[in-house]
């Protein structure tokens, strides 16, 4: 199976080890309280009524029948929003509840609270809304010139990155237009939470989110309450991947609780969840590469068009990312690349893992393969010839001052053996033969067992494209191999005041860490404990509740929390250590200024480095607890100018992927056999968690490559269920080979570590697509690749 | 909303009072009996997060009417470590790094116990097939496969 790397089983708790998750045991016992698991005496259930129309005027709303339903405690509309009637993460433009117009299917129109979820649903159904359907604008290109869909206009943002010699051209010119479908984050834990009214007229909200304080500000504005009367606590979060960065049911829950003066719980069902959060932007990207005869990039022209859907969300930041990284991790002396993100009547789009870099990567990596073909070299070589390196300047004019081991990533990956060929002898073995790197190495011991079993033929079929259906004509299965290399920025860009807050309290030999960093499954809780142990030498680290009783930690997104909240926890612990050592120095006659040089905290003890002083932490701290709370910031970034130039980003992370696929030419079915990867990580803080992030991210990239797409017709969603929106199952998941994590400490990063969550979802996508092209010879300019894209072209193959 | 009946859950008889007969077993376990370890992620039998055993058969509790499970033995994730002493599968999930957000975990643990009880030494493909009805969005399943094989190896010893 996919145990290319066996994680160390050490349970040692410090930085760099596979420390166990502190929430692991309650999670496996079913005792961990997710936001849908909350319960309170006298609790009501909330329900949302949503627009069935893509775009419509609302002529009237009659709530009388709903209010008359026994068990119903509240039915609230737009005019019942006490304060600001709109919300939005970067640019508030979305009604908390629709008033005169609905702009996408699923837009919230009314909210209900009742004593049973079924009663609430029935009451919502009893609300009579008189709609006047309007002609929707669902095509992004059309939206640019269409009548305004919103008073704020149809263009969320457009920018152009212009650099170098615009007249430059090359001997080789390659162009193409690429499309990426709308992906859903499909976290397992649907949107849910509970709000409780407080005696001070405030409200408490237990919620699954990525950013408590951004929610708090938006809720407070809409409730017309000061921030400190809106107190949020993170409830257990069942995955996020970007979908919880925006407000969904937060304001609704608080409105219902304050109106009814009772606790209110709300849990979306899966269908509603598809309407209830933003998605990955569908994209249409045109790129034209000019290159020398050797394939060195001279200039790139491009236009990226993203469909932002009905409301702004984080569209303006997503298009900046997509445009900034449209050339990929390659030297590009000249460019003119335009990025536009528009408003349509489709579902709103916003953050999803990779945040603009995913769409761009699919386009630039497909271009690189075409360039390789035009030059007559292999996909690895073309990437090596153009790989960016430290000291180079990216297309925004920013010099890479940190690490950028792009060449190392590609070389390491290309040295890794391909997976063994198909055992049946059917089909070509293109990938192996053509690459000349097939080593035919035997499988691991466990793999062999299945081949010896009495049902071996059945099992082999299960591994074919189509799996359990066993419909593949095995002679028509083709193997292909493809590469993808990607780049992503870490943390927030373009001058955003990006910070995290943390505190450390040292009481005897116990450290208590508090930070509002949303634990969404990524394992910051583990890391937080590791950092405290590393810095203070303590064994026991208590994690205080994750809530708004401390300042913001920023969002658990943009691969930023290991650096930002990790940095805040590290600094807080370091300051506590400095205070402790200064105190010990004074008490024991050391020079206070030299305390950190002469003394150390380790293994639960404070020691002088000369060995003369050695005391327990408990003794050193004594009765004077030490407490430090601080904010941590990364180096400042700056806005892009009118030519898209500026030091807009903090740091960059890179990854490379190689996919091997088997394709059934007749049925268009794809089995992703293996994805091998190398990743730039700075430093691994927790190997087991790093592998987990990489494997999970690749699963999402594979999903977008071959199966995941929200299907909309005139803005109407056709597949809002797990029956129809497919995500990879255990049978779909390829073998994962984590070939190498390249550790080059990043200057300025806590412990030298880069965030690692997003890159696995960025370049795994184009690698899979390239492998399918290699197997079929088809252009396949669109993902996800659908069976018909292959099967209907099969006569050509 | 006025039906009264009894369910046998984790070896105990549990009264269900003032219930609506349309309630799923998942809803009754979670909201009436306080057994929230069984999760709700799709409520249409696609994701496996609500997996429980009824008379030793693995089912999606979202697809079972609670009242139809009267007189049958229902086992939930809470039955595996009542005193906090983890089952071998639970322990392996923690140690192998098979848990991230943890939402799919209880359902997967029920499915893996069921698999290993029936087939102590499954091949890798058999593991994949057996848990292919349990969706996980965080892990890519790799560490889950590892956890299953760790238990299989331990049980062989």
Range of the structural domain that residue B71 is part of:
3-79
Asked whether residue A362 carries a pLDDT value surpassing 50, the answer given is yes
Q: In this complex, which of A3, A459, A521 lies closest to B138 when CB atoms are compared?
A: A521
Q: What's the pLDDT score for residue A440?
A: 30
More confident residue, A422 or B140: B140
Considering the domain architecture, whether residues B92 and B75 belong to the same structural domain is answered as: no
Task: Point out the domain boundary residue: B22, B53, B79.
Answer: B79
Tens-digit pLDDT profile for residues A213-241:
999 999 999 999 999 999 999 999 999 99
pLDDT at A456 over 70: no
Query: How confident is the model at residue A471, as a pLDDT?
Result: 65
**Best mutation site among B102, B112, B133 for testing chain A: the one with the most A CBs within 10 Å?**
B102
Closest-CA distance of chain B to residue A619, Å: 34
Query: What confidence tens digit (pLDDT) does each residue in A268-297 have?
Result: 999 999 999 999 999 999 999 999 999 999
3-state helix, strand, coil in chain B (%, to 5): 40, 20, 40
Of residues A455 and A698, the one with the higher pLDDT is A698
B102 with B73, same domain? no
DSSP line for A558-627? TT-HHHHHHHHHHHHHHHHHHHHHHHHHHHTT--GGGHHHHEEEETTEEEETTSS-EEEHHHHHTT--EE
Q: Do A188 and B104 touch (CB under 8 A)?
A: yes
Closest CA to B52 of B110, B129, B104: B110
pLDDT digits (tens, 9 = 90+) for A120-163: 999 999 999 999 999 999 999 999 999 999 999 999 999 999 99
pLDDT the model gives residue A431: 39
B51 and B102: one domain?
no
Q: What is the CATH number of the domain that holds B126?
A: 1.10.150.120
pLDDT band at A463 (very low <50, low <70, confident <90, very high): confident
Inspect the interface and report whether the beta carbons of B109 and A28 lie closer than 8 Å: yes
Grade residue A473 by pLDDT with cuts at 50, 70 and 90.
Answer: confident
| Confidence check: pLDDT of A794 > 90 | no
> What structural domains does chain A harbor?
140-182+280-375 (3.30.365.10), 408-413+426-489+651-796 (3.30.365.10), 499-633 (3.30.365.10)
* Rounded average pLDDT over A419-436: 55
Question: pLDDT class for A468, splitting at 50, 70, 90?
Answer: low
* Contacts across the A-B interface (CB distance below 8 Å): 214
CB within 8 Å: B39 and A36 = yes
Q: A206: closest CA among A228, A235, A245, A236?
A: A235
Q: How far is CA B116 from the centre of its chain?
A: 14
8 Å CB contact of A727 and B123? no
CA torsion A73→A79→A82→A86, rounded to 10°?
A: 120
Whole-number average pLDDT of chain B: 96
ipTM over the 0.85 cut-off: yes
Taking 80 as the threshold, does the pLDDT of residue A372 lie above it? Answer: yes
Same domain flag for B40 and B92: no
pLDDT classification of A448: cutoffs 50, 70, 90: very low
In the structure, what pLDDT confidence band is assigned to residue A591 with cuts at 50, 70 and 90?
confident
pLDDT of res. A31: 97
Question: Taking residues A165-186, what's their average pLDDT?
Answer: 97
B-contacting residues in A 273-312 (Cβ below 8 Å): none
Tokens 């060995």 locate to: A611
CB of A22 within 8 Å of any CB in chain B? no
Q: Is the per-residue pLDDT at A434 higher than 70?
A: no
Pick A29's closest partner by Cβ from B30, B81, B104.
Answer: B81
Q: What is the 3-state secondary structure (H, E, C) of A394-412?
A: CCCCCECCCCCCHHHHHHH
For residues A387-410, give the mean pLDDT.
Answer: 98
Instruction: Tell me the torsion sign for CA atoms A556, A707, A313, A79.
Output: negative
Is residue B29 located within the same domain as residue B92? no
Which pLDDT belongs to residue A363?
Answer: 98
In whole angstroms, give the CA distance from residue A677 to residue A655: 7
Interface mutation target, options A9, A30, A37, A729, chain B, most CBs of B under 10 Å: A30
Percent of chain A with pLDDT over 90: 89
- Cβ–Cβ of A187/B137 closer than 8 Å? yes
Q: Which of B79, B96, B130 corresponds to the end of one domain?
A: B79
Provide, as residue numbers in chain A, all residues whose Cβ is less than 8 Å from the Cβ of B102.
Answer: 23-24, 27-28, 32, 236, 238, 521
For residues A768 and A706, the answer to whether their CB atoms sit within 8 Å is yes
**For residue A512, what are its two tokens?**
């208590």
Nearest CA to CA, how far is A376 from chain B (Å)? 36
B67/B9 same-domain check = yes
Tell me the three state secondary structure of residue A749: coil
Give the residue from B52, B79, B106 where a domain finishes: B79
How far apart are the C-alpha atoms of A296 and A260, rounded to whole Å? 66
Indicate yes or no: CB of A727 within 8 angstroms of CB of B137: yes
- Whether the pLDDT of residue A2 is over 60: the answer is no
Which of A425-439, A673-687, B80-94 is predicted least confidently? Answer: A425-439
Statement to judge: residues B66 and B26 lie in one domain: yes
Predicted pLDDT at A10: 41
CATH code: domain of residue B31: 3.10.20.30
d(CA A353, CA A756): 11
Q: Which of A1, A189, A691 sits opposite B145 (nearest CB)?
A: A1
Taking an 8 Å cut-off on Cβ atoms, the answer to whether A189 and B101 are in contact is yes
Q: How many domains does chain B have?
A: 2
Mean pLDDT, chain A, as a whole number?
Answer: 93
| B61 and B95 both lie in a single domain | no
| Per-residue confidence (pLDDT) for residue A422, from 0 to 100 | 84
pLDDT of residue A782: 98
Interchain contact, B149 vs A523, CB within 8 Å: no
Taking CA atoms, what residue in A is nearest to B130?
Answer: A730
Cβ contact A27–B42 (<8 Å): no
> Mutate which of A188, A238, A720, A724 to test chain B, going by most B C-beta atoms within 10 A?
A188
Q: How confident is the model at residue A423 (pLDDT cuts 50, 70, 90)?
A: confident
**Is A239 part of the contact surface with chain B (CB cutoff 8 Å)?**
yes
* DSSP E strand boundaries for A308-439: 334-342
What is the distance, to the nearest Å, from the Cα of residue A42 to the centroid of all Cα atoms in its chain?
A: 37
């Amino acid at each position: 199976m996919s145990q290319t790397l066996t994680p160390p089983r050490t349970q040692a708790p410090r930085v760099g080890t596979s420390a166990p998750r502190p929430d692991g045991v309650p999670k496996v016992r079913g005792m961990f309280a997710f936001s849908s698991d909350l319960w309170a005496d006298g609790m009501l259930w909330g329900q949302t009524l949503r627009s069935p129309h893509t775009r419509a005027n609302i002529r009237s709303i009659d709530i009388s029948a709903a209010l008359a339903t026994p068990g119903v405690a509240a039915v609230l509309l737009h005019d019942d929003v006490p304060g600001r009637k709109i919300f939005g993460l970067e640019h508030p433009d979305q009604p908390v509840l629709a008033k005169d117009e609905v702009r996408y299917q699923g837009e919230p129109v009314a909210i209900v609270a009742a004593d049973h979820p079924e009663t609430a649903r029935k009451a919502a159904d009893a609300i009579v809304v008189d709609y006047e359907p309007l002609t929707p604008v669902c095509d992004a290109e059309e939206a640019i010139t269409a009548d305004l869909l919103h008073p704020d206009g149809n263009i969320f943002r457009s920018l152009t990155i212009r650099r170098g010699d615009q007249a430059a051209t090359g001997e080789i010119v390659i162009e193409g237009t690429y499309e990426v479908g709308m992906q859903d984050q499909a976290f397992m834990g649907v949107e849910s939470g509970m709000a409780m009214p407080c005696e001070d007229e405030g409200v408490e909200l237990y919620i699954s989110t990525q950013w408590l304080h951004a929610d708090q500000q938006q809720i407070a504005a809409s409730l017309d309450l000061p921030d400190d009367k809106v107190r949020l606590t993170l409830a257990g979060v069942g995955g996020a991947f970007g979908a919880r960065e925006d407000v969904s049911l937060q304001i609704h829950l608080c409105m219902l609780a304050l109106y009814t003066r009772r606790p209110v719980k709300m849990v979306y069902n899966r269908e509603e969840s598809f309407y209830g959060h933003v998605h990955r932007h569908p994209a249409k990207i045109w790129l034209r590469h000019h290159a020398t005869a050797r394939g060195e990039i001279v200039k790139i022209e491009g236009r990226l068009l993203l469909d932002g859907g009905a409301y702004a969300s984080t569209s303006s930041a997503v298009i900046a990312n997509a445009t900034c990284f449209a050339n990929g991790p390659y030297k590009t002396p000249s460019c003119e690349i335009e990025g536009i993100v528009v408003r349509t009547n489709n579902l709103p789009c916003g953050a999803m893992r990779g945040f603009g870099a995913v769409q761009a990567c699919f386009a630039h990596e497909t271009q690189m393969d075409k360039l390789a073909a035009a030059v007559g070299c292999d996909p690895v070589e073309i990437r090596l010839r153009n790989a960016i390196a430290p000291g180079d300047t990216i297309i925004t004019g920013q010099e890479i001052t940190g690490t950028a081991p792009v060449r190392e990533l590609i070389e390491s990956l290309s040295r890794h053996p391909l997976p063994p060929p198909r055992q049946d002898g059917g089909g070509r073995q293109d990938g192996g033969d053509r690459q000349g790197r097939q080593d035919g190495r035997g499988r691991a011991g466990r793999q062999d067992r299945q081949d010896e079993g009495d049902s071996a033929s059945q099992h082999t079929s299960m591994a074919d494209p189509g799996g359990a259906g066993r419909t593949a004509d095995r002679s028509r299965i083709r193997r292909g191999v493809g590469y993808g290399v990607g780049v992503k920025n870490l943390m927030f860009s373009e001058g955003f005041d990006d910070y995290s807050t943390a505190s450390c309290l040292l009481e005897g030999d116990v450290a208590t860490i508090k930070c509002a960093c949303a634990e969404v499954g990524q394992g910051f809780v583990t890391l937080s404990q590791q950092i405290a142990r590393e810095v203070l030498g303590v064994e026991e680290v208590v994690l205080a509740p994750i809530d708004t009783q401390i300042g913001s930690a920023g969002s658990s997104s943009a691969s930023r929390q290991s650096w930002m909240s990790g940095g805040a926890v590290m600094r807080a612990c370091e300051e506590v250590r400095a205070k402790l050592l200064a105190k010990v120095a004074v008490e024991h006659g050391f020079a206070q200024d030299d305390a950190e040089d002469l003394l150390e905290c380790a293994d639960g003890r404070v020691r002088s480095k000369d060995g003369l002083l050695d005391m327990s932490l408990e003794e050193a701290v004594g009765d004077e607890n030490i407490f430090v709370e601080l904010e941590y910031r990364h180096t400042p970034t700056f806005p892009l100018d009118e030519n898209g130039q500026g030091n807009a980003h903090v740091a960059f992370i890179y990854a490379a992927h190689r996919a091997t696929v088997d394709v059934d030419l007749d049925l268009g079915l794809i089995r992703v056999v293996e994805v091998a990867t190398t990743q730039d990580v700075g430093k691994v803080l927790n190997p087991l968690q790093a592998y987990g992030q990489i494997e999970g991210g690749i699963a999402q990239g594979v999903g977008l490559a071959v199966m995941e797409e929200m299907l909309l017709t005139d803005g109407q969603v056709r597949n809002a269920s797990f029956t129809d929106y497919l995500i990879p199952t255990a049978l779909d998941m390829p073998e994962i080979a984590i070939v190498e994590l390249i550790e080059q400490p990043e200057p300025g990063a806590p412990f030298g570590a880069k965030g690692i969550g997003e890159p696995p979802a960025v370049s795994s996508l184009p690698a899979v697509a390239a492998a399918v092209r290699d197997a079929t010879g088809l252009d396949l300019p669109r993902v996800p690749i659908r069976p018909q894209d292959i099967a209907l072209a099969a006569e050509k193959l | 909303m006025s039906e009264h009946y009894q369910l046998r859950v984790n070896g105990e008889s549990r009264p269900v009072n003032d219930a609506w007969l349309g309630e799923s077993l998942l809803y009754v376990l979670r909201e009436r009996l306080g057994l929230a370890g069984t999760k709700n992620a799709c409520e249409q039998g696609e994701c496996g997060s609500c997996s429980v055993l009824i008379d030793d058969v693995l089912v999606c509790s979202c697809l079972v009417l609670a009242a139809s499970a009267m007189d049958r033995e229902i086992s939930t994730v809470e039955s595996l470590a009542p005193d906090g002493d983890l089952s071998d599968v639970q322990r392996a999930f923690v140690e192998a790094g098979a848990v991230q957000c943890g939402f799919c975990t209880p359902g997967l643990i029920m499915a893996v116990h069921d698999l290993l009880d029936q087939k102590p030494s499954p091949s890798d493909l058999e593991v994949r097939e057996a848990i292919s009805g349990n969706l996980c969005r965080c892990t890519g399943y790799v560490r889950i496969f590892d956890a299953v094989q760790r238990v299989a190896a331990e049980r062989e010893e």
